[in-house]
Structure formats: structure tokens, C-alpha cells
Amino acid sequence: MTNEDVAQELEDIADLLEIADANVFRVRSFRRAVDSIAELPEDVAVLLAESRLTDVPGIGKSIARIVEELVNTGTSEEKEALLAQYPESLLEMLRISGFGPRKAAVVFRELGISTVDELEEAAAAGRLQDLPGMGAKTEDNIINSIDAYREGQQRALLGEMLPVAEDLVARLREHPDVIRAEFAGSTRRHRETVGDLDLLASSADPAGVCKWFAGLEILEELTMAGDTKVSGRLAGGRQVDLRVVAEASFGAALQYFTGSQQHNIRLRERAQRMALTVNEYGVFKADKEEKGDMVAGTAEEDVYAALDLPWIPPELREDRGEITAAEADELPELIELSDIRCDLHMHSQYSDGRATVEELARACMELGYAYIGIADHSQTLTVANGMDADRVRAQHEEIAKLNEKLKQEGTKFRVLQGIEADILSDGSVDVPEGTFELFDYVIGALHQGFSPDADKITARMVAAVKSGMIDIVAHPTGRVLLARQPYGLHIDQLIAACAEHDVALEINASPQRLDLDDTHARFAVQQGCRLSINTDAHGPESLTHMRYGVMQARRGWVEADNVINTWSLRKLRSWFKKRRS
């Protein structure tokens, strides 16, 4: 059972407990455990075997016992007992916006409704309006929400939503009554996927701005329209929320709406201990004499300062120890896009890229890089026009000529020759016979023969790492966001091997991959691995995806020196050389 499976089972229990009207704090505990397990870099089974599970924040004896039961038997008594009272199909109903556990319990108890289809039918037939707390309007909303749900309300890629958020913020800023505007939420935290867009503005006339925004033609549907808050849906069903506050509260509101929810809960608990209270309008005194006195609110930095903390970068605000680190003044100095001096994984026309080597080089000079590496596919990957030995030699000559030309032009920009070599089913590396010496470096990658057997895949990759043939492991888990699960892989073993043999792990910056993810990147650095952030571009236009790779690295607490792309060409070359000797 994977961590994801365990988290799902615990979430089911939390949902069922809520339907069963259990203690709200008990439910909250389960939800906290779900989050903790979902983002664990290590396998729960490993933690369990080493009795380290209760070290995880939010997991105590009871939940640890349930996890143990799940890992050993695939189910738990807790869940079975709940399923004896409520059918599992009720859980799907909770996905319907505006329809929660209370209403689910009522329709099941009163009318025996247990599926989304039955719910829709009952709402359409007007059978819900006699139930307590429901009326004709409720039925309309349920029908609309079920439509939206069926449209497929899955999360969207950050790479798709960030440009939309940037555009909407620009439009807000053009409004004459808007003082400041930003996007917040998971978009500002640069999460790899985004559920909805959270926008924030300050104004002396919040109601006027809300009214204007509610009338924008890009909102295909309006779901909520108050004097300080507007919610609607974009084409395609994506939800957008706008909040408008007074300028004096902008910093507090930005902090609040950036989240994450767990991070905010930790902050507020801390505020309570300091006799303060935090909400989206500011930080206020909570003790009797001065109750309500405002301490901070205009700037986000001031909110943290009022809580005796340095400002915490949004990417870290996930309740993963950032508040403790901030307290001790031990926040990482996160890598920035401007630290990146090269991109080492891109494809030219020598395999499946659209541009020539020179076009890629010129585009990267424009981006301000000091050098790049071309890494075309190897011969086994015929579908991607992988290079055989002859083509490797031809490319080698072309790159040498280009470097000579660049030298003549007086620039120090240089092009390295790498290769994205397939790691074959026996763990050998597909570098064409007699060409190994030509390459400045080799990237190892898995593209075919995905076995369902995690042990096999792991052994194959570890063998390649141990062979001394590869310098970087490309997109280590093989996942494609919202499309393909990672191949089964014991990533802790791969990370251990990379640390031991000084092989870098890639953070593939393609918005569809972002592989490694944030928690694995952090774990890899903790284990002593180097990382390499690369775009895997197949044309010049996707070279700018580098920013998404850097965002993911920042979420993984990664500093510039952990990433080989921040090194000078001289330093990187000597590292490659040392690895070969």
C-alpha cells in the first residue's frame, strides 16, 4: 500500500466520521494525518518498520495503529465499522461544491439517498425541499453544482494557471479604485497544481471593485457576490475568488489568503500564546485592556514581525517546519531564477527537438545563461529519433564549430555536449559504442519497459547510478502530472545510491513533470544529493520553463549551492572530470 493509498483511506475515515457527526477535533486530527502522510518523502511501511511513524507530526498512537492495520491488511476496523452505517458511495457526494457532510447525512437518513445520481434525481423532483435546512434554492444549487462536478473539476497545472493569474492581477491593477493587487493561494505558493485562483485587492471602495469584477465577461458564472468577496467560474469551470480589503489590511489579507491553511493555523496558535489574534484584517491585541488594538496589517512582513518571526517565503508555507526554522533564524536561503547559469537538458534536431543547436544556444544567451548543454536522446529510443554513433560524432563536430564561432564573436558563452541515454532493462546505459569519451556528461533516463515491479525498476536505476556512466538522473519518478502516475520505485534507495556515488537528481522543469517533486527534492538534499534543474525543452519557447523548476526547488527548501546549474562552467567541468576519474 503506497503512502497515497494510506492517505486516501484515512481521508475516507475522516469524511465518514464527519457524516457520522463525530467530534470535530477528532475529524481534524485525521485530516492533519492525511496531509502529513501524503507528503512524506519516505514509505510509511519503512517508517512503521523502524517505529518512526509517531515521530511524524499529527500522527499519534491511534492513527499509527490504523496505518499499521492498513499496511498489513489493506483495510481497517475503523473504516469497516463506519461502512456498516454509511455506504461508501456517500463519499462521492462530498465532492459536490456546497454539499457537505451534514447534508449528506440528512439525505441518506431521511430519503435513503446514497449516490450522486439519486441526489440529482431527488433535487430535480423537488423532494429535497421538505428536509430540514433545505429549500427550493438549495435544490437549484445542488443541480448546478453536480453539473460543474461532472464537467471534471480536477486541478490545473501551475504552468497553465500562473499566466492567467498574472493577467487577472494586471487587469485589477488597472482599475482606478484599486490600490494594490496580487494573486494568493496555492498559485502564490507555487504548488505544482492549482485548484482555484485566489485574487486579492485593496481599495477604499471594496463594494465598487467587487461589483465591477462580478460584471467582467471572463466570469462565465457567478457563484457568490458580496461587498468584499466575489466568486465565479472561468470558461472550463475553473473557480476564481476575489477578496477586496482596505489598504491598511492588505498585508494581513495577503498573508491570510496565501495560506496554506495549516500554516495559518500554526501562526494563529502562536499568536494566541502571545496574547494576539490574527485574521485577514490584521494582527490585534487580544488581552482585555487593549483588546482590538491593531498591531500590524499593511505589509505582510509586519504580520510576521508582530509574531516575532522573519518573513517566510510563500513556497515554504506548508506547515513543514518553516515556523520552527524561522523562530531559530534558520530559514534556507532559497535558490532564485537569477542563480541559474545553465540549462543542461534540451533537445535539438539531432533527435526530437524542433530547433538547431545554434538556435538553442542563441535563445539561452538571451536568457542570460553562461553556457548550456545539449542532451539529445540515445539510439534505443527510436520513436524520438535517438542518436546512433555517427550522429553523435556529427553533433560533436557541429558543437565544436559553434564554440569556435562563439569564441570569435568574443563571447564566453559555451555549449556542452551531453546525451539523454536510456537506462535499459538490464540497468546498462545506452551510450553508443565508442562515443562515451565525446560527451561532457551523460544523463540517464527511463523511457520504456516500465515494469509494475518496484524492486525491478529500482534495481535497474541503482545499477545505472553505480555504473559510473551517468552524471544526472532525468525525471527520476517518470510521473506526468494529472496524467500518469510515477512508476513504482523505491525512491529512498535511488536517493541513497545517488548520494553515495555523487550523481545528481534532476528537477525536470517541464510544467507537466516537475519531477522530482518538492518533498523528494528536500529529502534528497537532506541525504546529501546534488540536484540539477533542467527544462527538457524540445524547442526554444519552452526554455523559459526554468522558472517552474526553480519554484519547485524552492518548495523543497533548496539553496543555490545544492544545484549544479548555479555553478560556473569551470566548477561544473571539474566536477564532471572528477566523476570520470
Nearer to DNA, 2 or 279 (CB): 279
Nearer to DNA, 284 or 350 (CB): 284
Is the CB of residue 187 less than 8 Å from the CB of residue 155?
no
Give the integer Cα–Cα distance in Å for 543 and 343. 8
Give the integer Cα–Cα distance in Å for 575 and 471. 9
| Residue 423 C-beta: closest distance to DNA, Å | 40
* Residue 62 main-chain phi, psi, to 5 deg: -60, -50
| Residue 277 C-beta: closest distance to DNA, Å | 4
Is the CB of residue 371 less than 8 Å from the CB of residue 416?
yes
| Residue 519 C-beta: closest distance to DNA, Å | 18
Give the integer Cα–Cα distance in Å for 370 and 159. 25
Contacts of 517 (CB under 8 A, 6+ apart): 192, 477, 479, 552, 556
| Residue 295 C-beta: closest distance to DNA, Å | 13
How many residues are given for the chain? 581
Q: Which residues of this protein are in contact with DNA, per CB under 7 A? A: 23, 25-26, 28-30, 32-33, 54, 57-64, 94, 96-104, 129, 132-139, 141, 185, 195-196, 198, 224-229, 239, 241, 257, 259, 261, 264-265, 268-269, 271-273, 277-281
In 3D space, the residue among 520, 458, 496 whose CA is nearest the CA of residue 41 turns out to be 520
| Residue 45 C-beta: closest distance to DNA, Å | 18
Burial 314-328 (b: 16+ CB within 10 A, else e): bbbbbbbebbebbee
Residue 508 zone, left/alpha/beta (φ > 0; ψ -120 to 50; rest): beta
Nearer to DNA, 307 or 344 (CB): 307
| Residue 285: C-alpha distances to residues 196, 245, 256, 267, 322 (Å) | 33, 20, 17, 15, 24
Is the CB of residue 293 less than 8 Å from the CB of residue 352?
no
Nearer to DNA, 26 or 577 (CB): 26
Nearer to DNA, 277 or 356 (CB): 277
Distance of CA 133 to the CA centre of its chain: 38
Amino acid sitting at position 447: H
| Residue 187 C-beta: closest distance to DNA, Å | 11
Nearer to DNA, 76 or 510 (CB): 76
Nearer to DNA, 97 or 403 (CB): 97
In 3D space, the residue among 162, 13, 156 whose CA is nearest the CA of residue 79 turns out to be 13
Nearer to DNA, 17 or 550 (CB): 17
**69 sits in which H/E element:** helix 61-73
Give the integer Cα–Cα distance in Å for 74 and 71. 6
| Residue 444 C-beta: closest distance to DNA, Å | 39
| Residue 27 C-beta: closest distance to DNA, Å | 8
282-285 vs 276-279, strand pairing mode: antiparallel
Cell readout for 82 is 463506519
Nearer to DNA, 257 or 523 (CB): 257
Cell readout for 125 is 423532483
Nearer to DNA, 103 or 545 (CB): 103
Is the CB of residue 253 less than 8 Å from the CB of residue 200?
yes
DSSP state of 480: B
Nearer to DNA, 148 or 438 (CB): 148
Contacts of 450 (CB under 8 A, 6+ apart): 457, 478, 487
| Residue 228 C-beta: closest distance to DNA, Å | 4
| Residue 479 C-beta: closest distance to DNA, Å | 25
Give the integer Cα–Cα distance in Å for 343 and 539. 13
Nearer to DNA, 199 or 340 (CB): 199
Contacts of 532 (CB under 8 A, 6+ apart): 344, 345, 472, 504, 505, 506, 507, 563, 564, 565
3-state SS class at 1: coil
| Residue 132 C-beta: closest distance to DNA, Å | 6
| Residue 189 C-beta: closest distance to DNA, Å | 12
| Residue 134 C-beta: closest distance to DNA, Å | 5
Nearer to DNA, 136 or 383 (CB): 136
| Residue 141 C-beta: closest distance to DNA, Å | 6
Nearer to DNA, 148 or 463 (CB): 148
Contacts of 125 (CB under 8 A, 6+ apart): none
